[in-house]
Amino acid sequence: MHLFRSVAVSALVAVAVASPLGVPHSVHEKRSEAATGWARRDVLDRRAILPMKIGLAQSNVDQGWNWLKEVSVPTSSKYGQHWSAKDIAEAFAPSNETVDAAKNWLTMAGISESRIKQSQGLNWLEFDATVDEAEELLKTKYHVYEHEATGQPHVACDEYSIPTHLKEHIDLVYPTVHFDAKIKSRDDGVELEKRDGNFGHGRGPRGPGGGPWGGPGGGWRMPYHHRPTNDLANCDVHITPDCLRALYRFPVNYRANPKNSFGIVEYTPEAYVPSDLDLFFANFSQRSIGERPIFDSIDGGVNQQTNMSFNFNGESDLDLEYSMTLVYPQPVTLYQVGDLVEGASFNNFLDAIDASYCSYDGGDDPTQDAKYPDPYGGYQGPENCGGFAATKLISTSYAYNEADLTPFYEQRQCHEYMKLGMMGVSVLYSSGDYGVAGNGGQCITSPVGAVNATYNNGTSGRFNPSFPGTCPYITSVGATQVKNNTNIVTALATGTQPEEACETVIYSGGGFSNVFPLPEYQANAVHHWFADYPPPYGPDRFNNSQQTRGLPDMSANGANYVIAIDGNFSLVYGTSASTPTTGSILTLINQARLDKGKSSIGFINPVIYAHPEILNDITEGGNQGCGTPGFESAPGWDPVTGLGTPNYPKMLKLWVDELN
């Protein structure tokens, strides 16, 4: 957020050297959507010093997908032979030609070589610049933006240029057009049970641009007035751990593999309440009473207990109550990211688990965090760059709209998920709770790629898919529900599918990317769906070219979860619930593979699309949004429930008995 620091006037000696005349420049990045919730204020104070970072194009990126395929396509002879972090850093380091070309540009512009540092991961050039230097270098104008709700300042420009011949060498430059300031929790939705008129206020921006997504919401929640019960006869009205075990046929777990832990990522100030865990465990998992997650504090992450409400505790309580119960006695690792003052984004987390994604000691993406120690009074330790081990599986229930961020930014982050896949890490993200609409139910009103495009209130407009859900190297998880008046035990015994797409309180996020191409592993599934169930919408609603990434990949129950929250039980809804449940089941698969001396399952999409029989196909229900009924579930893959829900026995057989 805070990316400029003032320096004494007298200390300033800025001699801007104009770049050589005649070097053609072209626009490198510009925002396609307005930064909702941010007002542009003054031009930037000339005395500010900008910590510039130039992201160099890594080499071999095109090769990355082939390498990932080798270790994740089930028929590959190298299936499961994942890479080490060191091998990956070296394989993707920028070429010398790239480094030299970028340095040459800077030195020609008067930034002496001694001011330029190259990051440890080799992919960033970093230097401090005066405003004049940065503006001249990038042919742009910096402004201070102010967050309308909180008054937080942010420095940005609307677009910037670099020499045309450097386009292939430079991915992006910070600070420039980026507003990935804060991330919205999937639970920041409309509050259904108002307990307190002040819910959600004072929490700062919810998403990039701090738009009104979710408003003063406290999440997806309904009152629950029953005695908590594990009764399988009522799974259509309340979901408990035993309901999930019955639906997906996985056992109560009794083992742990020392190499295995289930990683859950939360962003401060979201926090779990220890007594809520024990209240939940007392009713649903007595052996877990007193258990807590392994706590990894990243960039000052704290499990704050000052502000208690559904809004602050709903996501963390849900994630931990279910995942800790389902994978017990395997440990759950809680990555708590960001301090109370500045928060954090996905990039902070990625920096902490992979130093090669990081920039330099103390430096990070300046559009989202100050340099730590935080000069604004938050976390006073050094910024985390590496040092945290990635668990074999990582589940996150927060997301952006794909349209919130620039394609450059998203491709770069997506590429990092590809590397995690090469290392054998499965990355799961919730697909969203608004059907074909985006966060807060909003849809896009302007044509693809339009300058200053905007969102509307969701009664019309273009579909608004989520990111990182549209990144082809993560597994996007949608939501299902048990059909009304359905006894799951009877249904399963008679071979009847008891579930359909979730249409209670929330709608499963799904659709097609406007940024990422259709991945190879998904092509057949998507083409079949278009051929057999042609959707009644044209390109005015979504990219119907059949050439872009579809989501979600799979789904799990996301309705009527009984959770303990702030001392009481409540029902909650969303892909926030289906994602940790899916992650728990896959963590049990990892355990079984590791017990056999095999590798983790890693990036699962090539396997699940090649073996859709390991999922229960969901064929009913839709995901309305943007004033439409949305898409419809159908036999096979669909952009509502993906390939379907987990079938643990079949997954186990494939992954443990059949695959290397």
Ligand X SMILES: *[C@@H]1O[C@H](CO)[C@@H](O)[C@H](O)[C@H]1NC(C)=O
Residue ranges binding ligand X (CB under 6 A): 96, 158, 202-203, 228, 269, 279, 282-283, 306-307, 448, 451-452, 456-457, 459, 484, 517, 539, 543, 545, 547-548, 566-569
Q: Torsions phi, psi of 605, nearest 5?
A: -55, -45
Neighbouring C-beta atoms of residue 76, cutoff 10 Å: 14
What counts of helices (H) and strands (E) characterise the chain?
Answer: 14, 26
The active-site residue out of 576, 584, 599, 633 is: 576
Q: How far apart are CA 510 and CA 641, in angstroms?
A: 8
The smaller minimum CB distance to ligand X, of residues 420 and 443, is found at 443
| DSSP secondary structure code for residue 305 in this structure | -
The smaller minimum CB distance to ligand X, of residues 465 and 583, is found at 465
- 364 noted as active-site residue: no
- 62 noted as active-site residue: no
Can you say whether the dihedral through the CA atoms of 291, 229, 583, 350 is positive or negative? negative
Binding site, by residue number, is: 617-618, 636, 638
Which string of DSSP letters, residue by residue, matches 583-633?
HHHHHHHHHHHHHTTPPP--S-HHHHHH-GGGEE---S-B--BTTB---B-
Binding site for Ca(2+), by residue number, is: 617-618, 636, 638
Q: How far apart are CA 510 and CA 433, in angstroms?
A: 9
The nearest distance, CB 340 to ligand X, in angstroms, is 7
The active-site residue out of 319, 354, 365, 410 is: 319
The nearest distance, CB 660 to ligand X, in angstroms, is 34
The active-site residue out of 276, 315, 383, 433 is: 315
The smaller minimum CB distance to ligand X, of residues 123 and 590, is found at 123
β-strand pairing of 561-565 with 568-572: antiparallel
Q: Which of 355, 348, 351 is nearest to 89 (CA)?
A: 355
The nearest distance, CB 456 to ligand X, in angstroms, is 6
Q: Which of 214, 121, 61 is nearest to 574 (CA)?
A: 214
The smaller minimum CB distance to ligand X, of residues 250 and 473, is found at 473
CB 176 within 8 A of CB 140: yes
The nearest distance, CB 13 to ligand X, in angstroms, is 31
Which residues, other chains included, contact 178 with Cβ-Cβ below 8 Å and sequence gap of 6+?
Answer: 156, 172, 365, 367, 368, 405, 406, 409
The nearest distance, CB 77 to ligand X, in angstroms, is 29
The smaller minimum CB distance to ligand X, of residues 263 and 343, is found at 343
Token look-up 């990317």 returns 513
Q: How far apart are CA 11 and CA 23, in angstroms?
A: 32
CB 358 within 8 A of CB 171: no
The smaller minimum CB distance to ligand X, of residues 262 and 561, is found at 561
The nearest distance, CB 599 to ligand X, in angstroms, is 31
Closest residue to bound ligand X by CB: 282
Cα 641 to Cα 327, 507, 513: the distances in Å are 24, 10, 16
HSE-CB at 147 with a 13 A cutoff on CA atoms is 24
The smaller minimum CB distance to ligand X, of residues 82 and 238, is found at 238
HSE-CB at 328 with a 13 A cutoff on CA atoms is 19
- 576 noted as active-site residue: yes
Task: Name residue 263's beta-bridge partners.
Answer: 333, 394
The nearest distance, CB 539 to ligand X, in angstroms, is 5
User: Which amino acid, one-letter code, is at 67?
Assistant: W
List residues with catalytic annotation. Answer: 315, 319, 576
